[in-house]
Amino acid sequence: MARGWYGLYLGDRVVYEEIEGTIVKLFALDKNKGLLLDDTGNEHTIVCEYCTKIPPKDGLLTFRPLSDIQYTVLLYNTDDFLDVYSFTGDEIEDKVMRIVTNAGNEIEKIAVYVRETASNLNSLY
């Protein structure tokens, strides 16, 4: 089964029908439906297929973490060890950057997951 949502993730900044905002919810039953929070605080139901993603600038992560979401970070080391961390959206970029800086070339791969408590789906970033 494909992931859906046309490549959008929670926290992505998008433009939908001339409305710019942040994806705050992706619906589990309709994998082409999401909820967009614009800069004025209004929520808009969107069709993911018609969103244009705005990439983040100057950051380690390829998505914009949401502050009230828990993220699980898996760090695969070159010596076959796996480190598992859990961070909130407010602290993830700073903490992962600190770990990467201290670990140097020992990290082979980083995987970031978010757990949506309402739908019990895991999303990989």
In a domain, 72, yes or no: yes
Say whether both 14 and 37 belong to one domain.
yes
DSSP structure class, residue 56? -
Measured between alpha carbons, how far is 19 from 31 in angstroms, rounded to an integer? 21
Total number of domains constituting the chain: 2
In a domain, 114, yes or no: yes
For the chain, strand residue ranges (E) read 13-16, 19-26, 33-38, 43-47, 52-54, 70-77, 82-88, 107-116, 121-124
In a domain, 3, yes or no: no
Say whether both 114 and 65 belong to one domain.
yes
Say whether both 116 and 68 belong to one domain.
yes
Residue 34, token pair as written in the block: 């999401």
Q: What is the pLDDT of residues 5-64, one digit of tens each?
A: 888 888 889 999 999 999 999 998 888 999 999 999 999 999 999 999 998 777 778 777
Q: What is the pLDDT of residues 64-119, one digit of tens each?
A: 788 878 888 888 888 888 888 999 888 998 999 898 888 778 888 888 887 654 44
Say whether both 64 and 115 belong to one domain.
yes
